[in-house]
Amino acid sequence: MRRREFIALVGGAAIAWPLACYAQPQSAPPKRIGFLAPGGCPIAPNNSFARRLAELGWVEGRNFVFECESTVGRLDQLSSLARELVSRHPDVLIAGPHTFVRALKQETTTIPIVMLGGWEPVRQGLITSLARPGGNVTGVAWLELLPKQLELLKEILPHMRRVAHMTDPNPPPEVRKTADEYITNASSTLGFTWEFFRPALATDYDKIFARLGAEHFDAAYISGTPTNRENVTRICQLALRHLIPAVSESADFAKGGLLLTYGQDINWGFARGSEYVDKILHAAKPSDLPVEQATKYELTINLKTAKALGLTVPPSLLARAGEVIE
């Protein structure tokens, strides 16, 4: 090989080598999903949200990571936990109860937020409409089921006249207004009076249920607030101890000993929420993704509790239950 040709060959290789290296595909950094969790962290692999993500090709530690902040034992720090999570700049945020969604929305208007169950999101000002949510919030919305839950309870307690409503200790004004409206309409239709109780601490439940028993309340409605969810076991034990028939929305309460629950299928909602996350991580805008309302409902009856309370559950109601605990 002539000297001139050799120099030209070496020189061309010297230029081509770094260009070839530069052109080689670089592995993209994993996406980050921020979760403001009412339960514990980390998220279990068999959780319906994580399981559906895996089916969509998202493998934790490989192409995405969870940034999780749990409110367990720190519910009074909800705002600061939301702020901390947003400060990490995840690619998408997820949250369950509407209060958690609101906390995130107050901290960012740019990072997409996926609701895993936002209660009446239009009325709460979280989105503009179901079809065109606008802003940075989308996901799955829960319907208000309080009237139906109390209607089911009255099938067991036809003479129900006085009901306790155990709910959020510090609800935003719009939440308080909506809840008042629903229970006022339900009480008028079903013929009972009601009184609000707003437990803030675990020990508050002992005092509240003692009063319900002493004053012979006919029943209690346990709303699905984070405080109530953190105290499922205590609530169920106290309701049984003071002989208070009670209804709530999450099947966990009936499995823990509450008389009756009726609510949306949480696993379905979580799985659907993961599909929104998948779309957003593939560059969809939350404002373009219509909010989906829950369509699957679960009726769970604890027949063992009914017997302990001396109550008879109508066969027609038992036939409609998805699960009967005996």
pLDDT in tens, 73-106: 898 899 999 999 999 999 999 998 888 999 999 9
Instruction: Domain 31-143+265-293: give its CATH architecture.
Output: 3-Layer(aba) Sandwich (3.40)
Question: What local confidence, expressed as pLDDT, does residue 267 receive?
Answer: 87
Question: What local confidence, expressed as pLDDT, does residue 295 receive?
Answer: 82
Question: What local confidence, expressed as pLDDT, does residue 26 receive?
Answer: 52
Each domain of the chain, given as residue ranges in start order, spans: 31-143+265-293, 146-264+297-325
Per-10-residue mean pLDDT of the chain, 326 residues long, equals 43 42 60 91 83 94 93 90 96 91 95 90 90 95 88 96 91 78 88 93 95 97 90 96 96 95 90 96 96 90 97 96 94
Question: What local confidence, expressed as pLDDT, does residue 231 receive?
Answer: 93
Question: What local confidence, expressed as pLDDT, does residue 266 receive?
Answer: 85
CATH H superfamily, domain 146-264+297-325: Response regulator (3.40.50.2300)
Question: What local confidence, expressed as pLDDT, does residue 22 receive?
Answer: 40
Helices (H), 191-265: 202-214, 226-230, 232-241, 251-256
Helix (H) or strand (E) holding 53: helix 48-55
Q: What is the DSSP string of 142-207?
A: EPP-HHHHHHHHHHH-TT--EEEEE--SS--HHHHHHHHHHHHHHHHHHT-EEEEE---SHHHHHH
CA distance 62 to 65: 8
Question: Do the domains spanning 31-143+265-293 and 146-264+297-325 agree at the CATH topology level?
Answer: yes
